Amino acid sequence: MRVLLIQAIGFTRRTMRLDRFRAWITRKFNLRVSVRDASIALDETGFTILAFGQPYVRIEWARVVSIYAFKRDCWIYDTIRLEFNFDDGMACEIDEDMDGYKAVVDELERRFGVAQECWWSKVALPPFETNLTCLWSRDPQEQSSLEP
């Protein structure tokens, strides 16, 4: 029993080192992170996308100038994504299959008044179409796509 426990601890440490190394390589070479390797940690000032359990990208609510929802065609199925555009011209996407996505959608309603009921069907239907929809923008003319 003691030997198994020591082996399990050693395996966990090696796994954690490997995850940190993967996250470092991904950041160093600006690689895309697979959805299965990413999750989202939400806090009061924004959220962090974690790659292999390590911080990868930080999104601050104060820097967001617009939020779009759209669908990405993955051949057999579609995924709904949210794109956050920032004041410095950069953008970041999150995918509905990422851990923590639902918490971000709930926070959008609380912080920006963007209810999922208002936009989800516009983005989801019809299938295999991009259906780009502006959910929120500092520019009022850009946000008009959500008006009924």
Q: What are phi and psi of 138, to 5 degrees?
A: -70, -25
Task: Give me the domain span that covers residue 27.
Answer: 2-146
Residue of 1, 136, 144, 142 lying closest to 69 (CA atoms): 136
Indicate the number of domains in the chain.
1
Q: What is the pLDDT along the chain (148 residues), one digit of tens a residue?
A: 333 333 333 334 444 555 566 565 555 555 555 556 688 999 999 999 888 788 888 999 999 999 999 998 877 888 899 999 999 888 888 989 889 999 999 999 999 998 888 898 898 888 888 889 999 998 876 655 555 4
